[in-house]
């Protein structure tokens, strides 16, 4: 799921474009015999520095004055549309569409946050009694097609399995605000019990020797920690500060059997993940130049150290800005989250340049070391160590109708296509209302 940007483009365009089209207004002359002193406008004081998310400001662009009003970041609803193109294709996939609804609601009493994409959903509702909170979560992944493994750029049809997971959670948390005291700046420690269901089915392409696991209830617990001290710019991109977090997930699959010789039972497993993201000044350069560093790690512990049905999904979304989305590991190659791994170590470094106060250019490099899903024999899914690099050039820009565009070109050395290098183009449009 790509990051959802929340922008003020309509304010820029509504004030700037009419002035460009019509030129300065002409004053009507006074009635004959009456002298009127011309009005003296107050001087326009431009707000220095990069505009921050939610903060009022004033900017001059192409000689025209633009007012940026304050806005409530605790109440947001946005739609994102877009997708990726792959060159060469990832298996048989050359285009991958995307559509999702994002919402966030916050108050003194609690918080609600969600990403709804029909087949992949992520919801959380918290109720405060400061500094404690009750937590309710729901996550589901039920992709409507047989999921396959891609090796050397080829989609292995015999590995196709249609499966899905839905998990709900209830728990208790501790939350306190931290600097710079914006809506997304806090320190959280949360413990939840979780329960759900897993199902799997063959389709017409599934190989005869492919072992399909049984449908099963799921039970477990999650310990989650989050720290967000980031200040974000007007496009909700990290501007300055640090964010970090971890997850420890234990899950028991009530009815299970081995799905490969390597996976063995995997009835019970423990997964741990962690991340660190920072945005900082570059010495000797202005605030328009930003250095962005990211680090992600994850591992699976258990009898067989994981299988394809509990593997991590490595995403290739735009650089996250929203607090909860920062926790998802991302390898910048394309918006496609079907690269399955049981363990990973991922690092990225990026340079961002503010071209205009609503237009940003990003250059990013990423490295990943992971145990990635691949094939042994005819159709048996196993995990093997893979090292890969990726490079990206991207533009984030405000657009018409309170919306924004994200456009990027990415190249990777073979991770996305299972050993075959290639490129991708990403385009998303986010509309906030």
CATH code assigned at 97: 2.40.160.50
pLDDT for 415 beyond 60? yes
In a domain, 228, yes or no: yes
Give the pLDDT band of residue 310 (cuts 50, 70, 90): very high
Q: What is the pLDDT of residues 359-372, one digit of tens each?
A: 999 999 999 999 99
Partners of 253 in the beta sheet? 218
Q: What is the pLDDT of residues 132-142, one digit of tens each?
A: 999 999 999 99
Please count the structural domains in the chain.
1
In a domain, 32, yes or no: no
Residue 305: the pLDDT is 77
Give the three-class secondary structure for 40: coil
Residue 64: the pLDDT is 86
| Single pTM value for the model | 0.88
418: domain range?
A: 9-24+42-432
Q: What is the pLDDT of residues 182-206, one digit of tens each?
A: 999 999 999 999 999 999 999 989 9
In a domain, 58, yes or no: yes
Q: State the DSSP code for 348.
A: E
Select from 405, 292, 408 the least CA-distant residue to 359. 405
In a domain, 337, yes or no: yes
Give the pLDDT band of residue 260 (cuts 50, 70, 90): low
Give the pLDDT band of residue 256 (cuts 50, 70, 90): confident
Residue 324: the pLDDT is 92
Read off the tokens for 1.
Answer: 């799921």
In a domain, 29, yes or no: no
Do residues 16 and 62 lie in contact, with contact meaning Cβ atoms separated by under 8 Å? Answer: yes
- CB within 8 Å of 254: residues ≥ 6 apart: 216, 217, 218, 219
Q: What is the chain's length?
A: 433
Do residues 66 and 14 lie in contact, with contact meaning Cβ atoms separated by under 8 Å? Answer: no
Give the pLDDT band of residue 420 (cuts 50, 70, 90): very high
Say what percent of the chain tops pLDDT 70.
Answer: 86
In a domain, 30, yes or no: no
Average pLDDT over residues 300-329: 85
In a domain, 31, yes or no: no
pLDDT for 265 beyond 70? no
Terminal CA-CA length for the chain: 19
Cis peptide preceding 286, ω within 30 of 0:
no
Read off the tokens for 153.
Answer: 């750029």
Q: Report the distance separating Cα 97 and Cα 82, nearest Å.
A: 6
Select from 315, 348, 371 the least CA-distant residue to 122. 315
Give the three-class secondary structure for 324: helix
The mean of the pLDDT values for the chain is 87
In a domain, 406, yes or no: yes
Give the pLDDT band of residue 147 (cuts 50, 70, 90): very high
Average pLDDT over residues 35-42: 47
Residue 22: the pLDDT is 31
């Amino acid at each position: 799921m790509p990051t959802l940007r929340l922008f003020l483009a309509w304010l820029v365009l509504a004030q700037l474009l009419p002035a460009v089209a019509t030129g300065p207004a002409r004053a009507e002359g006074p009635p004959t015999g009456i002298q009127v002193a011309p009005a003296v406008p107050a001087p326009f004081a431009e707000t220095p520095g990069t505009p921050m998310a939610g903060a009022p400001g004033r900017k001059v662009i192409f000689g025209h004055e633009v007012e940026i009003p304050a806005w409530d970041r605790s109440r947001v609803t946005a739609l994102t549309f877009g997708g990726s193109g792959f060159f060469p294709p990832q298996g048989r996939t050359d285009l991958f569409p995307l559509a999702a609804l994002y919402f966030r609601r916050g108050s003194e009493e609690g918080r609600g946050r969600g990403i709804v994409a029909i087949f992949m959903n992520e919801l959380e509702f918290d109720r405060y009694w400061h500094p404690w909170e009750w937590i309710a979560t729901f996550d589901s992944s039920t992709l409507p097609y047989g999921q396959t493994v891609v090796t050397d750029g080829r989609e292995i049809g015999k590995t196709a399995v249609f499966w899905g997971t839905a998990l709900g959670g209830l728990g208790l948390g501790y939350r306190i605000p931290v600097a710079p005291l914006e809506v997304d700046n806090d320190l959280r420690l949360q413990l939840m019990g979780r329960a759900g269901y897993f199902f799997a089915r063959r389709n017409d392409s599934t190989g005869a020797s492919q072992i399909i696991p049984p449908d099963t209830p799921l039970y477990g617990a999650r310990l989650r920690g989050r720290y967000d001290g980031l200040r974000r710019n007007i496009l909700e991109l990290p501007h300055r500060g640090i964010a970090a977090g971890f997850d420890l997930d234990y899950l028991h699959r009530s009815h299970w059997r081995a799905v490969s010789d390597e996976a063995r039972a995997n009835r019970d497993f423990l997964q741990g993940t962690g991340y660190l993201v920072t945005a900082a000044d570059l010495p000797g350069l202005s605030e328009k130049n930003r250095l962005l560093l990211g680090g992600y790690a994850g591992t699976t512990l258990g009898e067989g150290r994981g299988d394809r049905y509990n593997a991590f999904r490595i995403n290739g979304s735009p650089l996250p800005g929203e607090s909860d989305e920062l926790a998802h590991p991302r390898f910048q190659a394309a918006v496609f989250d079907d690269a399955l791994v049981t363990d990973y170590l991922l690092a990225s470094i990026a340079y961002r340049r503010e071209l205009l106060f609503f237009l940003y250019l990003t250059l990013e490099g990423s490295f990943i070391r992971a145990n990635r899903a691949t094939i042994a024999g005819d159709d048996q899914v196993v995990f093997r160590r893979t090292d890969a690099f990726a490079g990206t050039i991207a533009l984030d820009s405000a657009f018409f109708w309170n919306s924004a565009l994200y456009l990027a070109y990415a190249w990777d050395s073979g991770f996305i296509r299972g050993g075959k290098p290639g490129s991708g183009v990403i385009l998303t449009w986010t509309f906030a209302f």
